[in-house]
Structure 1
C-alpha cells in the first residue's frame, strides 16, 4: 500500500523553521520560556529542554518526506500540549501589565493574547503534513 506524502509546501517549511528557531532557543536560552511553565509543574527547566528537543525533532521530521506524516501528528500534538503554557504566559504578562501599567508591559501582554488564536492555523498546518 502506497502512502501519500504531503509535499513540502511553504507553510510546512515555515512551521519547520518556527520549530527549529524555537527549539534552539529552548536549549540556548531556556529562561525565556520559564514564564510559560506553570509553577506547579516539577522540574521546570528539564521540561523546557525536553520541549526544545521535541520541537527540533518535529522540525527535522517535517522536512524529510519519509517522516513528514508522523512528524505532522507529533507537531499537532506538541502544539496542543504547549497551549496551556501559552495561556499561562498570557496570565503572567497580564498580571505584570496590571502591576507596572507601562506601555511596554501592556504591549507584551497584548502580544501574548494575540498569539493564542494563532495556535489553530499552526495545528492545521501540522495536520496538513499527515497527508489527510
Structure 2
C-alpha cells in the first residue's frame, strides 16, 4: 500500500473556480429572468439600449461560469472572469451614484452599493489566482 500522505497534490484552482462559477451562473440567469434592475445600472454614457448590455453581460457571466467549471478551460475562465469583473465595475459605480442621489433609497441600500465596490478587488484577484493555478497544474 502506497503512502500518499507525502505525495504533493496539485491545486488546479478547482475550489475557487467553482466558487466564482457559483456566483456568476445565477447572476447570469438573473440577467434574463429579471433584466430591469440590470438595465437600470447600465452607465448612461454607453450608446444603445441598456437591455442589449444586460443580455450581453448575462451571456458573458454564463460563459465564464461554464469555462471555470471545465478543468480544460479553467485557466482561460479565470482570466475572463477577471476581465468580466473589471467590465461590470462601471455598472456597479453607476448603481452607487444613482442610489446616493436617490432620496427614496434607504440609507442601508446606499451604504451597500458603496461598500460593494471594493469587493471587486478580491473577485478580480481570486479570478487571477484561478488562472495561475490552472496554468501551473
State the TM-score, normalizing by the size of structure 1: 0.87
1:49 aligns with 2:49: no
Distance 2:93 2:71 in 1: 33
Aligned residue pairs total 123
Q: Which has the larger radius of gyration?
A: 2
The answer to whether the 8 A contact 2:40-2:50 is kept is no
Alignment correspondent of 2:6: none
* Cα deviation, residue 7, structure 1: 2.9
Show the 5 A alignment for 1:48-127. 48-96=54-102, 99-100=103-104, 105-127=106-128
Task: Looking at secondary structure, tell me which structure has more helix per residue.
Answer: 1
**Can you give the 5+ residue segments of structure 2 that lack an aligned partner in the other structure?**
1-9
* Cα deviation, residue 34, structure 1: 2.0
State the TM-score, normalizing by the size of structure 2: 0.84
The answer to whether the 8 A contact 2:13-2:131 is kept is no
Moved over 2 A (4+): 4-7
* Cα deviation, residue 75, structure 1: 0.6
The answer to whether the 8 A contact 2:31-2:55 is kept is yes
Aligned-residue RMSD, C-alpha: 1.6
* Cα deviation, residue 5, structure 1: 7.4
Deviations 1:11-33 (A, max 9, x none): 32121011001100001111011
Match of 1:23 among 20, 28, 46: 28
Alignment correspondent of 1:32: 37
Greater displacement, 59-68 / 28-37: 28-37
Deviations 1:76-106 (A, max 9, x none): 001001111100100001111xx23xxx611
